[in-house]
Amino acid sequence: MTTTAPQTPAVFPAWFAARQHDAWERYLATPAPKRGDESWRFSNLKQLDFEGFSRNAGVSPASDLISRSTGLKKTAAKFIFSNDELVHSESSLPQGVICLPLAEALVSHGDLVAAHFMKQETRLGSAKFAAWHEASVSNGLFVHTGENAEIEGAIEVHHWISGANTVIFPHTLIITGKNSKVRVIDIFRSADDITPGLAIAFNDLSAGPNSQLDYIAIQALNEVTRIIHINETSTARDASAKGFILNIGASWARNECLSRLEGAGSRSDMLSVSVPAREQEYDQRTFQHHVSEGAYSDLLYKNSLYDNSRTIFSGLIFVDRDAHHTDAYQTCRNLLMSDTCEANSMPGLEINADQVKCSHGSTSSQIHDEEIFYLQARGIDPTSARQLIARGFSVEAVERLGDEATEEFVLGFIDDKFSHIASGGA
Protein backbone atom coordinates (compact mmCIF):
# COMPACT_ATOMS: atom_id res chain seq x y z
CA MET A 1 0.00 0.00 0.00
CA THR A 2 0.96 3.61 -0.32
CA THR A 3 3.41 4.87 2.27
CA THR A 4 3.36 8.61 1.74
CA ALA A 5 0.62 10.77 3.17
CA PRO A 6 -1.82 12.08 0.54
CA GLN A 7 -1.82 15.88 0.11
CA THR A 8 -5.05 17.69 0.82
CA PRO A 9 -5.62 20.27 -1.93
CA ALA A 10 -5.10 23.80 -0.60
CA VAL A 11 -8.57 24.98 -1.67
CA PHE A 12 -10.25 22.63 0.80
CA PRO A 13 -11.14 24.00 4.25
CA ALA A 14 -8.72 23.64 7.14
CA TRP A 15 -10.96 21.29 9.15
CA PHE A 16 -10.94 18.90 6.21
CA ALA A 17 -7.17 18.98 5.91
CA ALA A 18 -6.97 18.22 9.64
CA ARG A 19 -9.40 15.33 9.30
CA GLN A 20 -7.38 13.91 6.43
CA HIS A 21 -4.18 14.26 8.40
CA ASP A 22 -5.65 12.47 11.43
CA ALA A 23 -7.15 9.80 9.21
CA TRP A 24 -3.77 9.08 7.70
CA GLU A 25 -2.26 8.65 11.18
CA ARG A 26 -5.15 6.34 12.05
CA TYR A 27 -4.64 4.41 8.84
CA LEU A 28 -0.98 3.83 9.69
CA ALA A 29 -1.76 2.91 13.30
CA THR A 30 -4.58 0.45 12.50
CA PRO A 31 -3.33 -3.09 12.02
CA ALA A 32 -4.28 -4.87 8.82
CA PRO A 33 -6.94 -7.59 9.13
CA LYS A 34 -5.42 -10.93 10.04
CA ARG A 35 -6.49 -14.52 10.26
CA GLY A 36 -8.78 -15.15 13.19
CA ASP A 37 -10.50 -11.76 12.99
CA GLU A 38 -14.18 -12.57 13.27
CA SER A 39 -15.14 -9.83 10.78
CA TRP A 40 -12.83 -11.42 8.19
CA ARG A 41 -13.87 -15.02 8.79
CA PHE A 42 -13.81 -17.01 5.52
CA SER A 43 -12.31 -13.98 3.74
CA ASN A 44 -9.41 -14.27 1.39
CA LEU A 45 -6.92 -11.93 3.08
CA LYS A 46 -4.55 -12.15 0.13
CA GLN A 47 -6.95 -9.81 -1.65
CA LEU A 48 -5.92 -7.04 0.75
CA ASP A 49 -2.48 -6.57 -0.74
CA PHE A 50 -2.82 -3.18 -2.38
CA GLU A 51 0.88 -2.67 -3.04
CA GLY A 52 1.68 -0.63 -6.10
CA PHE A 53 -1.68 1.13 -6.50
CA SER A 54 -1.62 4.89 -6.79
CA ARG A 55 -3.79 7.80 -7.82
CA ASN A 56 -3.56 8.70 -11.47
CA ALA A 57 -5.05 11.30 -13.72
CA GLY A 58 -7.52 9.84 -16.18
CA VAL A 59 -5.76 8.28 -19.12
CA SER A 60 -8.84 7.48 -21.18
CA PRO A 61 -10.16 10.42 -23.19
CA ALA A 62 -13.04 12.00 -21.28
CA SER A 63 -15.18 12.16 -24.41
CA ASP A 64 -15.00 8.39 -24.79
CA LEU A 65 -16.07 7.76 -21.19
CA ILE A 66 -18.86 10.33 -21.44
CA SER A 67 -20.29 8.67 -24.51
CA ARG A 68 -20.16 5.28 -22.78
CA SER A 69 -21.87 6.58 -19.64
CA THR A 70 -25.33 5.53 -20.72
CA GLY A 71 -27.96 5.18 -18.07
CA LEU A 72 -31.56 6.06 -17.48
CA LYS A 73 -33.46 7.81 -20.25
CA LYS A 74 -34.45 10.59 -17.92
CA THR A 75 -32.37 11.73 -14.99
CA ALA A 76 -32.70 14.54 -12.47
CA ALA A 77 -28.95 15.05 -12.65
CA LYS A 78 -25.97 13.25 -14.07
CA PHE A 79 -22.32 13.31 -13.04
CA ILE A 80 -19.41 11.51 -14.65
CA PHE A 81 -16.11 11.05 -12.83
CA SER A 82 -12.93 9.66 -14.33
CA ASN A 83 -10.43 8.67 -11.63
CA ASP A 84 -12.28 10.96 -9.19
CA GLU A 85 -12.08 13.95 -11.63
CA LEU A 86 -15.38 15.43 -12.72
CA VAL A 87 -15.56 15.25 -16.53
CA HIS A 88 -19.22 15.93 -17.09
CA SER A 89 -22.27 17.14 -15.20
CA GLU A 90 -25.82 18.11 -16.01
CA SER A 91 -28.69 18.90 -13.70
CA SER A 92 -32.35 19.81 -13.80
CA LEU A 93 -32.83 19.79 -10.05
CA PRO A 94 -35.27 22.17 -8.39
CA GLN A 95 -33.91 25.16 -6.51
CA GLY A 96 -33.08 24.54 -2.88
CA VAL A 97 -31.58 21.16 -3.60
CA ILE A 98 -27.82 21.19 -3.29
CA CYS A 99 -26.29 18.58 -5.53
CA LEU A 100 -22.60 19.11 -6.25
CA PRO A 101 -19.37 17.23 -6.71
CA LEU A 102 -17.91 16.78 -3.23
CA ALA A 103 -14.80 18.78 -4.17
CA GLU A 104 -17.02 21.78 -4.90
CA ALA A 105 -19.28 21.27 -1.89
CA LEU A 106 -16.28 21.21 0.43
CA VAL A 107 -15.50 24.75 -0.68
CA SER A 108 -19.02 26.19 -1.02
CA HIS A 109 -20.90 24.26 1.72
CA GLY A 110 -18.08 23.21 4.05
CA ASP A 111 -20.22 23.38 7.21
CA LEU A 112 -22.90 21.07 5.81
CA VAL A 113 -20.28 18.54 4.72
CA ALA A 114 -18.53 18.76 8.09
CA ALA A 115 -21.78 18.01 9.88
CA HIS A 116 -22.26 14.67 8.14
CA PHE A 117 -18.95 13.52 6.70
CA MET A 118 -17.86 10.10 8.04
CA LYS A 119 -19.33 10.52 11.50
CA GLN A 120 -19.65 6.84 12.40
CA GLU A 121 -16.98 4.41 13.38
CA THR A 122 -16.52 1.69 10.76
CA ARG A 123 -17.49 -1.47 12.63
CA LEU A 124 -17.59 -4.26 10.12
CA GLY A 125 -13.87 -4.90 9.67
CA SER A 126 -12.59 -2.27 7.24
CA ALA A 127 -11.71 0.48 9.74
CA LYS A 128 -8.20 0.66 8.25
CA PHE A 129 -9.49 1.06 4.71
CA ALA A 130 -12.11 3.58 5.79
CA ALA A 131 -9.24 5.61 7.28
CA TRP A 132 -7.35 5.29 4.01
CA HIS A 133 -10.43 6.55 2.18
CA GLU A 134 -10.88 9.44 4.60
CA ALA A 135 -7.24 10.47 4.23
CA SER A 136 -7.34 10.29 0.44
CA VAL A 137 -10.85 11.24 -0.67
CA SER A 138 -10.98 14.22 -3.01
CA ASN A 139 -14.28 13.93 -4.81
CA GLY A 140 -17.65 12.26 -5.11
CA LEU A 141 -21.23 13.37 -4.82
CA PHE A 142 -22.83 15.65 -2.27
CA VAL A 143 -26.62 15.89 -2.06
CA HIS A 144 -28.56 17.96 0.46
CA THR A 145 -32.24 18.07 -0.38
CA GLY A 146 -33.58 20.53 2.16
CA GLU A 147 -37.16 20.14 3.38
CA ASN A 148 -40.17 18.97 1.37
CA ALA A 149 -38.17 18.42 -1.81
CA GLU A 150 -39.45 15.51 -3.84
CA ILE A 151 -37.00 14.86 -6.64
CA GLU A 152 -38.44 13.26 -9.73
CA GLY A 153 -36.17 10.77 -11.45
CA ALA A 154 -32.76 9.72 -10.24
CA ILE A 155 -29.40 11.36 -9.76
CA GLU A 156 -27.04 9.22 -11.79
CA VAL A 157 -23.32 9.09 -11.05
CA HIS A 158 -20.73 7.26 -13.13
CA HIS A 159 -17.37 6.42 -11.58
CA TRP A 160 -14.75 5.28 -14.10
CA ILE A 161 -11.33 3.82 -13.34
CA SER A 162 -8.71 4.02 -16.05
CA GLY A 163 -4.97 3.44 -16.26
CA ALA A 164 -2.96 0.62 -14.76
CA ASN A 165 -2.92 0.16 -10.96
CA THR A 166 -5.12 3.15 -10.35
CA VAL A 167 -6.95 3.59 -7.07
CA ILE A 168 -10.02 5.79 -6.72
CA PHE A 169 -11.77 6.95 -3.53
CA PRO A 170 -15.32 7.88 -4.55
CA HIS A 171 -17.50 9.27 -1.78
CA THR A 172 -21.27 9.67 -1.79
CA LEU A 173 -22.79 11.89 0.89
CA ILE A 174 -26.56 12.26 0.86
CA ILE A 175 -28.66 14.14 3.41
CA THR A 176 -32.40 14.20 2.94
CA GLY A 177 -34.39 16.86 4.75
CA LYS A 178 -37.79 16.47 6.32
CA ASN A 179 -40.47 15.03 3.97
CA SER A 180 -38.12 14.93 1.01
CA LYS A 181 -37.39 12.19 -1.45
CA VAL A 182 -34.35 11.34 -3.54
CA ARG A 183 -32.85 8.46 -5.51
CA VAL A 184 -29.15 8.19 -6.31
CA ILE A 185 -27.53 5.59 -8.57
CA ASP A 186 -23.77 5.01 -8.44
CA ILE A 187 -22.25 3.04 -11.31
CA PHE A 188 -18.69 1.76 -10.93
CA ARG A 189 -16.91 0.75 -14.13
CA SER A 190 -13.46 0.25 -15.61
CA ALA A 191 -12.37 1.96 -18.81
CA ASP A 192 -11.20 -1.36 -20.29
CA ASP A 193 -11.36 -5.09 -19.52
CA ILE A 194 -7.72 -5.82 -18.87
CA THR A 195 -6.29 -3.08 -16.64
CA PRO A 196 -6.21 -3.78 -12.91
CA GLY A 197 -7.73 -1.12 -10.68
CA LEU A 198 -8.91 -0.55 -7.14
CA ALA A 199 -11.82 1.36 -5.63
CA ILE A 200 -12.16 2.26 -1.95
CA ALA A 201 -15.66 3.69 -1.90
CA PHE A 202 -17.61 5.12 1.01
CA ASN A 203 -21.20 6.30 1.41
CA ASP A 204 -22.75 8.42 4.13
CA LEU A 205 -26.51 8.24 3.78
CA SER A 206 -28.59 10.15 6.25
CA ALA A 207 -32.36 10.05 5.88
CA GLY A 208 -34.10 12.91 7.70
CA PRO A 209 -37.52 12.73 9.34
CA ASN A 210 -40.22 11.21 7.16
CA SER A 211 -37.97 11.33 4.12
CA GLN A 212 -37.25 8.68 1.56
CA LEU A 213 -33.70 7.92 0.48
CA ASP A 214 -33.01 5.31 -2.20
CA TYR A 215 -29.44 4.42 -2.99
CA ILE A 216 -28.43 2.00 -5.74
CA ALA A 217 -24.87 0.89 -6.44
CA ILE A 218 -24.07 -0.98 -9.61
CA GLN A 219 -20.66 -2.56 -9.47
CA ALA A 220 -19.67 -3.60 -13.00
CA LEU A 221 -15.88 -3.22 -12.82
CA ASN A 222 -13.62 -5.35 -14.97
CA GLU A 223 -12.54 -8.73 -13.62
CA VAL A 224 -9.02 -7.67 -12.63
CA THR A 225 -10.23 -4.85 -10.39
CA ARG A 226 -11.02 -4.98 -6.68
CA ILE A 227 -13.38 -2.85 -4.62
CA ILE A 228 -14.10 -2.18 -0.97
CA HIS A 229 -17.45 -0.46 -0.65
CA ILE A 230 -18.55 0.77 2.77
CA ASN A 231 -22.05 2.00 3.31
CA GLU A 232 -23.29 3.83 6.42
CA THR A 233 -26.99 4.57 6.53
CA SER A 234 -29.00 6.22 9.28
CA THR A 235 -32.71 6.82 9.42
CA ALA A 236 -34.50 9.47 11.48
CA ARG A 237 -38.08 9.28 12.70
CA ASP A 238 -40.45 7.74 10.11
CA ALA A 239 -37.75 7.89 7.45
CA SER A 240 -37.28 5.15 4.90
CA ALA A 241 -33.92 4.22 3.43
CA LYS A 242 -33.44 1.70 0.70
CA GLY A 243 -30.00 0.43 -0.26
CA PHE A 244 -29.39 -1.85 -3.20
CA ILE A 245 -26.09 -3.28 -4.38
CA LEU A 246 -25.58 -5.15 -7.61
CA ASN A 247 -22.34 -7.06 -7.97
CA ILE A 248 -21.51 -8.42 -11.39
CA GLY A 249 -17.96 -7.21 -11.93
CA ALA A 250 -14.60 -7.07 -10.10
CA SER A 251 -12.33 -9.98 -9.24
CA TRP A 252 -13.00 -9.35 -5.56
CA ALA A 253 -15.58 -7.14 -3.90
CA ARG A 254 -16.08 -6.44 -0.25
CA ASN A 255 -19.33 -4.72 0.78
CA GLU A 256 -19.93 -3.49 4.32
CA CYS A 257 -23.40 -2.13 4.87
CA LEU A 258 -24.48 -0.74 8.19
CA SER A 259 -27.94 0.61 8.81
CA ARG A 260 -28.70 2.51 12.01
CA LEU A 261 -32.40 2.82 12.72
CA GLU A 262 -32.27 5.90 14.91
CA GLY A 263 -35.82 7.16 14.73
CA ALA A 264 -39.04 5.49 15.84
CA GLY A 265 -41.11 4.19 12.97
CA SER A 266 -38.21 4.30 10.54
CA ARG A 267 -37.51 1.66 7.95
CA SER A 268 -34.47 0.27 6.22
CA ASP A 269 -34.48 -2.07 3.24
CA MET A 270 -31.13 -3.65 2.46
CA LEU A 271 -31.05 -5.42 -0.87
CA SER A 272 -28.40 -7.04 -2.97
CA VAL A 273 -28.06 -9.18 -6.06
CA SER A 274 -24.75 -10.83 -6.91
CA VAL A 275 -23.93 -12.97 -9.90
CA PRO A 276 -20.33 -14.12 -9.51
CA ALA A 277 -18.75 -16.39 -12.13
CA ARG A 278 -15.30 -17.76 -13.00
CA GLU A 279 -12.97 -16.89 -10.10
CA GLN A 280 -14.96 -13.94 -8.75
CA GLU A 281 -15.31 -13.52 -5.02
CA TYR A 282 -17.86 -11.37 -3.20
CA ASP A 283 -17.55 -10.78 0.51
CA GLN A 284 -20.57 -9.05 2.06
CA ARG A 285 -21.02 -7.98 5.67
CA THR A 286 -24.15 -6.32 6.97
CA PHE A 287 -25.36 -4.86 10.23
CA GLN A 288 -28.93 -3.88 11.07
CA HIS A 289 -28.70 -1.76 14.19
CA HIS A 290 -32.02 -1.07 15.89
CA VAL A 291 -31.36 1.87 18.16
CA SER A 292 -34.89 3.15 18.44
CA GLU A 293 -38.08 1.28 19.15
CA GLY A 294 -40.75 0.49 16.62
CA ALA A 295 -38.46 0.44 13.61
CA TYR A 296 -38.48 -1.99 10.73
CA SER A 297 -35.59 -3.45 8.79
CA ASP A 298 -35.62 -6.03 6.06
CA LEU A 299 -32.59 -7.50 4.32
CA LEU A 300 -32.65 -9.65 1.21
CA TYR A 301 -29.40 -10.78 -0.41
CA LYS A 302 -29.49 -13.09 -3.42
CA ASN A 303 -26.46 -14.77 -4.92
CA SER A 304 -26.30 -16.92 -8.06
CA LEU A 305 -22.93 -18.63 -8.10
CA TYR A 306 -21.29 -19.92 -11.28
CA ASP A 307 -18.00 -21.71 -11.99
CA ASN A 308 -15.40 -21.42 -9.20
CA SER A 309 -16.92 -18.33 -7.66
CA ARG A 310 -17.17 -17.75 -3.95
CA THR A 311 -19.48 -15.68 -1.76
CA ILE A 312 -19.47 -14.80 1.90
CA PHE A 313 -22.47 -13.36 3.63
CA SER A 314 -22.20 -12.31 7.25
CA GLY A 315 -25.15 -10.41 8.63
CA LEU A 316 -26.10 -9.29 12.08
CA ILE A 317 -29.34 -7.93 13.44
CA PHE A 318 -28.55 -6.01 16.61
CA VAL A 319 -31.43 -4.86 18.76
CA ASP A 320 -30.56 -2.38 21.51
CA ARG A 321 -31.93 -2.80 24.99
CA ASP A 322 -34.73 -0.31 24.62
CA ALA A 323 -35.60 -0.94 20.99
CA HIS A 324 -38.83 -2.73 21.76
CA HIS A 325 -41.41 -3.46 19.07
CA THR A 326 -38.67 -4.01 16.56
CA ASP A 327 -39.38 -5.89 13.35
CA ALA A 328 -36.18 -7.13 11.75
CA TYR A 329 -35.73 -9.65 9.01
CA GLN A 330 -32.70 -11.01 7.24
CA THR A 331 -32.59 -13.45 4.35
CA CYS A 332 -29.64 -14.64 2.30
CA ARG A 333 -30.27 -17.09 -0.50
CA ASN A 334 -27.61 -18.81 -2.55
CA LEU A 335 -28.36 -20.47 -5.85
CA LEU A 336 -25.52 -22.85 -6.66
CA MET A 337 -25.08 -23.09 -10.42
CA SER A 338 -21.90 -25.18 -10.56
CA ASP A 339 -20.37 -27.97 -8.55
CA THR A 340 -17.25 -25.99 -7.73
CA CYS A 341 -18.72 -22.79 -6.33
CA GLU A 342 -18.71 -22.00 -2.64
CA ALA A 343 -21.24 -20.13 -0.52
CA ASN A 344 -20.57 -19.15 3.08
CA SER A 345 -23.38 -17.73 5.18
CA MET A 346 -23.26 -16.38 8.69
CA PRO A 347 -26.66 -14.91 9.47
CA GLY A 348 -26.53 -13.59 13.03
CA LEU A 349 -28.88 -12.12 15.62
CA GLU A 350 -28.22 -10.25 18.85
CA ILE A 351 -31.39 -9.31 20.61
CA ASN A 352 -31.46 -7.30 23.83
CA ALA A 353 -35.08 -6.22 23.88
CA ASP A 354 -38.39 -8.01 23.95
CA GLN A 355 -41.61 -7.43 22.03
CA VAL A 356 -39.39 -8.06 19.07
CA LYS A 357 -40.11 -9.88 15.86
CA CYS A 358 -36.91 -11.07 14.28
CA SER A 359 -36.05 -13.82 11.92
CA HIS A 360 -33.27 -14.77 9.64
CA GLY A 361 -32.96 -17.43 7.08
CA SER A 362 -30.23 -18.65 4.83
CA THR A 363 -30.50 -21.29 2.18
CA SER A 364 -28.13 -22.78 -0.35
CA SER A 365 -29.40 -25.03 -3.06
CA GLN A 366 -29.24 -25.84 -6.74
CA ILE A 367 -32.01 -25.79 -9.32
CA HIS A 368 -33.96 -29.02 -9.08
CA ASP A 369 -34.15 -31.31 -12.08
CA GLU A 370 -37.96 -31.24 -11.93
CA GLU A 371 -37.95 -27.48 -12.48
CA ILE A 372 -35.79 -27.87 -15.57
CA PHE A 373 -37.96 -30.75 -16.76
CA TYR A 374 -41.08 -28.65 -16.32
CA LEU A 375 -39.67 -25.89 -18.50
CA GLN A 376 -38.35 -28.39 -21.06
CA ALA A 377 -41.84 -29.83 -21.31
CA ARG A 378 -42.87 -26.35 -22.40
CA GLY A 379 -40.29 -26.29 -25.18
CA ILE A 380 -37.45 -24.42 -23.45
CA ASP A 381 -33.97 -25.92 -23.77
CA PRO A 382 -32.16 -26.76 -20.49
CA THR A 383 -29.58 -23.95 -20.77
CA SER A 384 -32.23 -21.29 -21.28
CA ALA A 385 -34.34 -22.91 -18.58
CA ARG A 386 -31.54 -22.62 -16.05
CA GLN A 387 -30.96 -19.02 -17.00
CA LEU A 388 -34.61 -18.20 -16.80
CA ILE A 389 -34.79 -19.56 -13.29
CA ALA A 390 -31.61 -17.77 -12.20
CA ARG A 391 -32.95 -14.51 -13.61
CA GLY A 392 -36.27 -14.97 -11.86
CA PHE A 393 -34.34 -15.64 -8.67
CA SER A 394 -32.54 -12.27 -8.93
CA VAL A 395 -35.62 -10.37 -10.01
CA GLU A 396 -37.24 -10.90 -6.62
CA ALA A 397 -34.74 -8.52 -5.02
CA VAL A 398 -34.67 -6.05 -7.92
CA GLU A 399 -38.46 -5.68 -7.84
CA ARG A 400 -38.25 -4.34 -4.33
CA LEU A 401 -36.77 -1.13 -5.77
CA GLY A 402 -40.29 -0.09 -6.70
CA ASP A 403 -39.39 2.07 -9.67
CA GLU A 404 -39.81 0.63 -13.12
CA ALA A 405 -37.13 2.61 -14.94
CA THR A 406 -34.51 1.84 -12.28
CA GLU A 407 -35.46 -1.84 -12.19
CA GLU A 408 -35.14 -2.07 -15.95
CA PHE A 409 -31.75 -0.36 -15.82
CA VAL A 410 -30.47 -2.77 -13.13
CA LEU A 411 -31.87 -5.81 -14.94
CA GLY A 412 -30.01 -4.70 -18.07
CA PHE A 413 -26.72 -5.22 -16.21
CA ILE A 414 -27.87 -8.59 -14.85
CA ASP A 415 -28.89 -9.78 -18.32
CA ASP A 416 -25.52 -8.65 -19.67
CA LYS A 417 -23.82 -10.78 -17.08
CA PHE A 418 -26.00 -13.81 -17.84
CA SER A 419 -25.31 -13.58 -21.55
CA HIS A 420 -21.61 -13.16 -20.76
CA ILE A 421 -21.74 -16.35 -18.70
CA ALA A 422 -23.71 -18.21 -21.36
CA SER A 423 -21.19 -17.29 -24.05
CA GLY A 424 -18.00 -18.01 -22.15
CA GLY A 425 -18.51 -19.23 -18.61
CA ALA A 426 -20.75 -21.93 -17.27
Select the residue interacting with another protein from 2, 30, 89, 366 (CB under 8 A): 366
Torsion of CA 129, 133, 136, 138, to 10 degrees: 170
| From 24-32, 35-43, 90-98, 292-300, span contacting another protein (CB under 8 A) | 35-43
Ramachandran area for residue 228 (φ above 0: left; ψ -120 to 50: alpha; else beta): beta
- What would the DSSP string read from start to end of 68-100? H----SSEEEEEEEETTEEEEEEE-PPTT-EEE
Select the residue interacting with another protein from 182, 213, 295, 356 (CB under 8 A): 356
Distance, in Å, from the CA atom of 15 to the CA atom of 152, rounded to the nearest integer, reads: 34
Our CB check for another protein shows the closer of 114 and 346 to be: 346
The yes or no reply on residue 362 touching another protein (CB under 8 A) is yes
Beta carbons within 8 Å of 323's beta carbon, 6+ residues apart:
261, 290, 291, 292, 293, 295, 352, 353, 356
Q: Which residues pair with 329 in a beta bridge?
A: 298, 359
Number of residues lying near another protein (CB under 8 A):
39
Our CB check for another protein shows the closer of 179 and 338 to be: 338
Give the residue from 294, 190, 181, 199 showing the smallest Cα distance to 237.
Answer: 294
Q: Least distance (Å) from another protein to the CB of residue 355?
A: 6
Our CB check for another protein shows the closer of 39 and 376 to be: 39
Cα dihedral 116, 119, 123, 126 sign: positive
Our CB check for another protein shows the closer of 349 and 405 to be: 349
The yes or no reply on residue 197 touching another protein (CB under 8 A) is no
Our CB check for another protein shows the closer of 147 and 327 to be: 327
| From 33-41, 78-86, 203-211, 238-246, span contacting another protein (CB under 8 A) | 33-41
- Over the window 326 to 355, marking each residue x when it contacts another protein by CB under 8 A and - when it does not, the resulting string is --------x-xxxxxxxxxxxxxxxxxxxx
Residue 155 three-state SS? strand
Our CB check for another protein shows the closer of 30 and 338 to be: 338
Q: Least distance (Å) from another protein to the CB of residue 307?
A: 11
The yes or no reply on residue 363 touching another protein (CB under 8 A) is yes
Q: What is the 3-state secondary structure (H, E, C) of 173-234?
A: EEEECCCCEEEEEEEEEECCCCCCEEEEEEEEEEECCCCEEEEEEEEECCCCCEEEEEEEEE
Q: Which residues pair with 19 in a beta bridge?
A: none
Our CB check for another protein shows the closer of 67 and 363 to be: 363
Q: Least distance (Å) from another protein to the CB of residue 189?
A: 30
Distance, in Å, from the CA atom of 172 to the CA atom of 155, rounded to the nearest integer, reads: 12
Q: Least distance (Å) from another protein to the CB of residue 295?
A: 15
Our CB check for another protein shows the closer of 60 and 303 to be: 303
Round to the nearest angstrom and report the end-to-end CA distance of the chain: 35
Select the residue interacting with another protein from 144, 226, 360, 417 (CB under 8 A): 360
The yes or no reply on residue 361 touching another protein (CB under 8 A) is yes
The yes or no reply on residue 397 touching another protein (CB under 8 A) is no
Give the residue from 121, 135, 123, 126 showing the smallest Cα distance to 45.
Answer: 126
| From 38-46, 81-89, 109-117, 253-261, span contacting another protein (CB under 8 A) | 38-46
Q: Least distance (Å) from another protein to the CB of residue 319?
A: 9
The yes or no reply on residue 324 touching another protein (CB under 8 A) is yes
> Footprint of another protein on this chain (CB under 8 A)?
36-38, 41-42, 321, 324, 334, 336-366
